[in-house]
Structure 1
């Protein structure tokens, strides 16, 4: 039967169980297997879900034909809606109320039907037979709504209950009495109980279905608990049977042996041929016995190890420096004298107990040693702090500056108690701490130099001021005061100002030398070009070895190389050197020496080993090395490589001198990366001698 409308079928051929029904005007009211009500026409053999018009009461006809319909909100409040106008109101419309009142009056005034004309409701005869031991699961129908093959003479009465809980309990009792199982579906259960009066203890199908599922869950849980209790009892009885066998059951006993021993006992046969469960319980029991045996052996081994530990402590000859072989001989002798046994222990257990005892013996001497080490470290730290304080005092008294050497302060500090205490320290030696102090001063000078250079740049931008060879120190200080008086008074000390001034003057001197060298090089280049013109410019009438300058001069005056070389004496000098070289070549050729020589290496050419431009770091503020490390900006001794190609030299030949103060900081940052690289050399023999005196000092070797 479809869900929307009941199927049309022959009423006489229906054989399935249905609910009680009655017939009026050829229309029979009945219920489908789901408990839903429908009507069947016994004449036309048609079924319908809606109540036929012939059976409607006057009030029902009003609701059927009226455009107003009654609805209920989820909160249970009723409201009314007009299907034609789509109007919705909370109160019942007046016209609908009047129609309902008239319908009730009409029904009250109508003559009641005689009792004989009304089909009396009668209850179906309920079968009074006990539920079977194995309830039969009802078959599901798949066709149209099935009708009863008989027409009852009277309608069955619907039971009434005071509360819903009582109705549910009655429904639960119906399920139990009918023999419904918890694993049935709702359709199967309904087939079995739909004809029972208590089926309608709950009013709707949804309530019946929910009650059935609740009962099925509770019943399944109850059966599961009963089954678990029964299994627990069987397991306990089986274990008690195994324990009653005493020593007959060992931890290595097999199941087939158990079958021979206990196969006829009630606890064994209670499993009803469930041999797999019995064997699983037996394996569990055997595993429990094996665990108990292992625990017993573990406890026995633990007690033996504690007994052996007490034995070792009772032998005073065992000291923390004693080896295992020596201790073994002692405890074996003691064991034989007292007759002590150690069950469950192997040789590794003996050794582990001795190792733990030996570790405890070492705790006291190690504690004392750690105390001495800590005290020594504290003493060394105080000695280092004292020597650093001595260096700070020397710096404050202007006895140490960035140019100070170790050999210069060694005679001053060699008898100071703070120096003597620092001699021989394992980590930082006095010489190392001295270099650290110089590094700090060097860094301080670097930062102060940045301030001075920044001030000089401002002064240069305002008044074109620059430090050159002739600039006095007073003008240098005055230029700084004009920019920022705090530089001289607070930010930079007088010693570093003097160093910076000397450094700038040395750079100015070097720039003058570079400019002079550059001009000389430029002049040599012009002379070389003129010599080349003398050799190759007169192809038609070459110069001979017997020619004079007065004869050749008119022939070369139009050369560009001749005009670039302004001094006539230099022109004549180039000519004389060329004639001299030409005569030497003729003499070599006449003597049979035909070795060709490179003309490019003749006199007057600029060789590849000529010095290039000045290195800004060549004129540094200090000339001493410290610990053989790559010098910093303030004491740079780095020399440029002289083996350079002529091409790279020509690119820098006419480059202007570098006068920007920032270039020096770039070089300093590059060299500062290698400041920690040390070698074995020293700056001078005097410093090496002073270091030898320090290394060989008897007080240091104590």
Structure 2
């Protein structure tokens, strides 16, 4: 009966149903027909559900009207018989951008314009059938003529001679083991099987052959060190007693009867060096195995500790830390204190230091996690604090507070203290409420200073004349500013502040001018004092009265700089005269001479 899965289209399904019903009787025919009808129904429904369509760019795609599925590739149910044949051999069809058809191979990525040709199943089956028939004929006419299965029989002397010839022809040397002779020569040379009932005899002949080698063979074997090494290493691998810690003296006892060791002409040092290389390789393999085991153990230990350190019952022991302390872990969950730890065979290779390092690694991970949580919390708090500051800044600039350049915190605090925007500012990071208030006051001060500068320039342009009374100046300045468009839109309080600043500025300038004049006057008086000292020091005669001195000094520049201030000049002269008398008195007093060396008051005697 033909399987429906092998058929290519619905028409073939129909033919199969007809032939099946006609060839089958009874219930078996009905069951088979019903199965085939069900298959045909699903095949027809599957083909009927798929539709071909084009998108906005003109590309062809396929969609299933029942399931809603869509795809670019044509469904297998819609493939024609030729397309199915191509797909069976790994080929598909496609079209270029200009609509030209081409073929490409899914595996080799080959593409061609011409359709590939394939053999039909009938063409492929014909040579297979012919080969099968030919093989059966050969098996029927096969006769067991193998020389290996039917070796010629010889006496032991003849067999020994031909066995040695076989060894010589195959260039067997001391690097060969007897097992290698069995596997390589026993399967190809019938001379091996001339005496097939005595393997011990064959091995004795092999050792006899090795003992009777010629000098040429021995010299050749001596030069082929690499060949010896490979064979010697293979022999060492077969000795399971040799471990990575085996010494050469012990190994020699184990391999003393081995052919390659007993009959080899290679130096003993080469054999020992080869053995040491093999032992080193075993040690490296063991280290690698231990490394892999330790790596696996560390991985399992990390999972074990992570499960313990994050469990709720362990963390609920009153500790304020998010991890278990090392001492608590050591007393309850590590080494012989815990059956689960002891039961893990991989943990046997771990030391206390290894366990501690894994614990510290997990602690660092927990620390990093806590830091990350803290950073995220700080980020959220930063956003929250920033919003609180922004809302408080809006409150400070609201009309209900009317903060001015000269406002004080004590003036606005009674209004702010119960405001929710102010309360949300408390305890936040960054600038405090007082800092933000001072920022607003500073902004107002800067704005007020700029407006004061504008008003000052306006007074200069208008040629404003100042009076001694401040009330007159204030009224005149307000009247002048009220006529300017720039100040008309300003608040009355701001205008008053500007006028106040202008008045204070004028007073400060007046004060500065007085200070400058005072410094100049004092400088002139000082110059007059210096002139008196210079004038009368050169004349070496000092007048007794100011009237006499005035006649001497009236033409000097310093005298004229003091102007009409005759009293000031007289006072300065009297001061000069009195100072000169004190100097003369100090000079006329004779000093008291002493023969002792004067000592400084800070000097201490050493006796």
Q: Which has the higher contact order (CA 8 A, sep 6+)?
A: 1
Which one has the bigger helix percentage? 2
TM-score with structure 2 setting the length: 0.43
Task: Normalising by structure 1, report the TM-score.
Answer: 0.38
